[in-house]
Amino acid sequence: MVVEWRTSVVDGHSNFGGDGDDEPYPSIHLVRRELERQVAEQESRGTNFDTKSGLLLALGGALIGLTQDSSSAYHIASLLFASAAVLAAVSAMFPRIATAIKPGSLRDRYLMGDPAETELTLLDTRIFLYEQDEERLSAKVLRMKVTVILLAISVFLMVAATITASTTKETSDGTGHPSSGVTSRATSTTGRP
């Protein structure tokens, strides 16, 4: 038997061992460490997406508040798009991530099992849960994109409503200028210029 000095890449500890046949899965610690890093990054992205969804929800609520005082077609359309954006933002917040393994079922099922097989099964389960959470994050991103598009349409309609309202107001007094509601100086109360 060839004996060599090895340093573990995972924990940095040196150990005295053989040719690696004593461990059924010699790289499992490397895979687990990388998975833990990926899961931490995934949880961070999920939290960031939840924060952004909350901000989009607040923006949609503000747009709804701004459009409720008018009855023009543009304002009503803007209100509808802002309402749809709020619903999309709320739906973007709910696909939660960070699914965990239940400790009770873990103990019941694997307490007396082979440690190497149990470790591999746990790793496979965590990878499966990670992949499910990635799908949830993708759905969350898609819903956030829909929210942004709906908010952009709502803002565009609100600007169009404001422009048409000011144009209508200017042409309603017949001068082509905004009416001030004040009598012109050229005509006094006596009718002389």
Q: What is the pLDDT of residues 72-86, one digit of tens each?
A: 888 889 999 999 999
pLDDT score, position 108? 82
Q: What is the pLDDT of residues 164-185, one digit of tens each?
A: 877 876 666 555 555 544 444 4
Give me the number of domains the chain comprises: 1
Q: At what angle do helices 103-110 and 115-172 cross, to 10 degrees?
A: 160
Is residue 10 in some structural domain? no
pLDDT score, position 171? 66
3-state secondary structure 125-184: HHHHHHHHHHHHHHHHHHHHHHHHHHHHHHHHHHHHHHHHHHHHHHHHCCCCCCCCCCCC
CB 160 within 8 A of CB 74: yes
Q: Please state the φ and ψ torsions of residue 22, each to the nearest 5 degrees.
A: -75, -20
Is residue 131 in some structural domain? yes
pLDDT score, position 110? 81
Is residue 160 in some structural domain? yes
Record the tokens describing residue 6, joined without a space.
């090895």
Q: What is the pLDDT of residues 40-90, one digit of tens each?
A: 998 899 889 999 999 999 999 998 888 777 778 888 899 999 999 999 999
Q: What is the pLDDT of residues 114-142, one digit of tens each?
A: 888 888 988 998 899 999 999 999 999 99
Domain that holds residue 78: 28-170
